[in-house]
Amino acid sequence: MTAESRNAADLSPKDTREMEGIVIVKVEEEGTDDEEDRFPTERSNTELSPQFLSRSTTMNERALLSSYLVAYRVAKEKMAHTAAEKIILPACMDMVRTIFDDKSADKLRTIPLSDNTISRRICTIAKHLEAMLMTRLQSGIDFAIQLDESTDTASGPTLLVYVRYMWQDDFIEDLLCCLNLNSQVTGLDVFTELDKCVVGRYKLNWRNCKGISSDGAANMTGKHSRLLENLLEATHNNALWNHCFIHREALVSKEIPPSLMDVLKNAVKIVNFSKGSSLNSRLLEIFCSEIGENHTHLLFHTEVRWLSQGKVLSRVYELRHEIYIFLIEKQSHLANIFEDDVWVSKLAYLSDIFGILNELSLKLQGKNNHIFQYLEHIRGFQKMLLLWQTRLKSNRPSYYMFPTLLQHIEENIINEECLKVIKSEILIHLTSLSQTFHHYFPEEKFASLKENIRIKDPFAFQTPESILELNLVPEEENELLQLSSSFTLRNYYKTLSLSAFWIKIKEEFPLLSRKSILLLLPFTPTYLCELGFSILTRLKTKKRNRLNSAPDMRVALSSCVPDWSELMNRQAHPSH
């Protein structure tokens, strides 16, 4: 027996079974040279068989697609990239092993989910979503943008730009770009970077931009900034600029008379004393828990948060008795403040009025809202301010519009002199609010909207006389008359959003639809930018301050849905 045959004969049954399906080992004393020649041929034929190739290719494609899907979910949930390998994969293996078997669970190990792999997948998906968006915008359709600038956790300036455009049967809102700026940039520098991205990189035409929305900060609209000026020049003054309604309302709420401002400052001092020390905070929490209060914590006041004032004042008033006892035990002079009935009454009023302002602010937030809705909220609040002033000036003043203050007056004995002082302070504040609202929301700004009220409800004009009062051209009058007479279109108007309604009938009534779409297209608030910055703080934390957040932001905020088959084809043919 030759040495080769002895080695083959020494193979144990276990070793032979492990090699089954790859090659059949047959040990003979003669013809070993022929078997050795046939060994690589049979192995090659087995590995190149159609079933073997199909099975391995299918498994690889499934593992690759699974890797993309996991990366997509990681970005959508704003999770760390290591979560896929450290949390998602072990959890999936535990579930599959529990429900099925170990063999099925081990198949999940073939899915590439490392930190770097997830980062690459997110970048690939982000480029794919960006390409989908650019394909739509480069078709020459009109669009509007909203933009805002803020800083991340690494103190780096970040510019967010959202775009709204008409696609298929409605408006679509999407993230246009997330630009990381240099530390010291002027308004001209911001415009230069934005122009490089929009025109140089995306190949878009500024003339198609019909609306620009931003806040009124000096870095956006200041006389030395020139950002807004350059943007309007780039659009050939075809774009309409809107000062963010939410930002305007926040500026209005800051107008507080000095006496009421003292109440707010004292409330902030009380909160800082109670929460500035961890010991004080724990003691107050324990005390409120023992009494059985629904809330046991005070809230810090943050100037940049629009809803902060109302929530802080409401919580201080709600826990006023507990805070008073706590301050006495701590021998703080702030306890004397709660002994003043006028101060507590003013606190109740501020809790009410800022709660109402918070409700208005929330109404101005949201996606896919049009300017007529915002106008209705603003006009309605202005009329309420006038009504409340009239109520308080009457011989029998009523405080029904301020439920917390009304309850406080009913439960406590407050003399007439104190009530006169309180009423006077409230009247001064309401008058100031009313004047400031007229300053930030002037009548002339809404004059064009009143002229185009037919866009809000085209079926309100049923007679030729009412249509003639709109001063339309003859072609538009004919379209409006036909439109208002259609029962089918009336049903569409009731079931569709306002923008979707005008887009649906743009072929049948082109003149009215074109004007309506151009008026509804521009953004009114910068709510999406503010929402984007909130997500940025979740993505770019102190531990991830070197993260390039643009791809994650794109995937997390994009309205487009990835085409997974196209992504897989690009992965298989990278040269394409």
pLDDT, tens only, 414-439: 888 888 889 999 999 999 999 999 99
Most confident of 149-158, 361-370, 372-381: 372-381
Rounded to the nearest 10 degrees, what angle do helices 371-393 and 341-363 cross at? 160
353: pLDDT confidence band, cut at 50, 70 and 90? very high
Is the same domain home to 277 and 227? no
Cα 255 from Cα 269, distance rounded (Å)? 20
Most confident of 6-15, 314-323, 507-516: 507-516
Judged against a pLDDT cut of 50, whether residue 395 lies above it is answered with yes
Judged against a pLDDT cut of 60, whether residue 573 lies above it is answered with no
Distances (CA, A) of 390 to 348, 354, 386, 432, 558: 21, 20, 6, 14, 48
Q: What is the pLDDT of residue 46?
A: 43
The backbone region for 35, taken as left when phi is positive above 0, alpha when psi lies in -120 to 50, beta otherwise, is alpha
Q: Is residue 539 part of a domain?
A: yes
Q: What is the pLDDT of residue 157?
A: 86
7: pLDDT confidence band, cut at 50, 70 and 90? very low
**Encoded tokens for 124:** 């690939």
**Encoded tokens for 52:** 């073997």
Which has the higher per-residue pLDDT, 25 or 64?
Answer: 64
With b for 16 or more beta-carbon neighbours within 10 A and e for fewer, the 441-475 pattern comes to beeeeeeeeeebebbbebbebeeeeebeeeebeee
Q: What is the pLDDT of residue 306?
A: 60
Q: What is the mean pLDDT of residues 354-361?
A: 90
Q: Which of 38, 177, 10 is nearest to 529 (CA)?
A: 177
Q: Is residue 334 part of a domain?
A: yes
| SS3 assignment, position 255 | coil
31: pLDDT confidence band, cut at 50, 70 and 90? very low
Q: Is residue 565 part of a domain?
A: yes
154: pLDDT confidence band, cut at 50, 70 and 90? confident
Q: What is the pLDDT of residue 310?
A: 79
Please identify, among 444, 472, 488, the residue that sits at the C-terminal boundary of a domain.
444
Q: What is the mean pLDDT of residues 99-105?
A: 93
Q: What is the pLDDT of residue 498?
A: 93
| SS3 assignment, position 414 | coil
Cα angle 273, 278, 281; round to 5: 60
Is the same domain home to 333 and 438? yes
Q: What is the pLDDT of residue 471?
A: 85
Cα angle 411, 415, 418; round to 5: 100
Please identify, among 388, 422, 444, the residue that sits at the C-terminal boundary of a domain.
444
Q: Is residue 81 part of a domain?
A: no
Cα 341 from Cα 123, distance rounded (Å)? 61
Is the same domain home to 359 and 415? yes
Q: Is residue 116 part of a domain?
A: no
Q: Is residue 322 part of a domain?
A: yes
Which has the higher per-residue pLDDT, 491 or 568?
Answer: 491
Q: Which of 160-164, 467-471, 560-564 comes out lowest in average pLDDT? A: 467-471
| SS3 assignment, position 331 | coil
Most confident of 37-51, 306-320, 489-503: 489-503
461: pLDDT confidence band, cut at 50, 70 and 90? confident
222: pLDDT confidence band, cut at 50, 70 and 90? low
Is the same domain home to 346 and 430? yes
Cβ of 208: how many Cβ atoms within 10 Å? 18
Query: What is the count of structural domains for the chain?
Result: 4
Q: What is the mean pLDDT of residues 38-62?
A: 54
Is the same domain home to 354 and 415? yes
Is the same domain home to 284 and 156? no
Q: Is residue 249 part of a domain?
A: no
Is the same domain home to 164 and 264? no
Predicted TM-score of the model (pTM): 0.82
Is the same domain home to 303 and 344? yes
Is the same domain home to 406 and 308? yes
Q: Is residue 145 part of a domain?
A: yes
Q: Which of 37-46, 55-64, 246-255 comes out lowest in average pLDDT? A: 37-46
What single letter denotes the amino acid at residue 61?
Answer: E
Q: Residue 464: CA atoms inside 13 Å, Cβ hemisphere, count? A: 2
Please identify, among 444, 460, 488, the residue that sits at the C-terminal boundary of a domain.
444
Which has the higher per-residue pLDDT, 290 or 79?
Answer: 79
Is the same domain home to 426 and 544? no
Is the same domain home to 273 and 401? yes
| SS3 assignment, position 32 | helix
Write the DSSP symbol of residue 159: E
Q: What is the mean pLDDT of residues 539-556?
A: 88
Proportion of the chain above pLDDT 70, given as a percent:
87
Is the same domain home to 239 and 377? no
Segments forming the whole domain that contains residue 468: 452-520
Judged against a pLDDT cut of 70, whether residue 404 lies above it is answered with yes
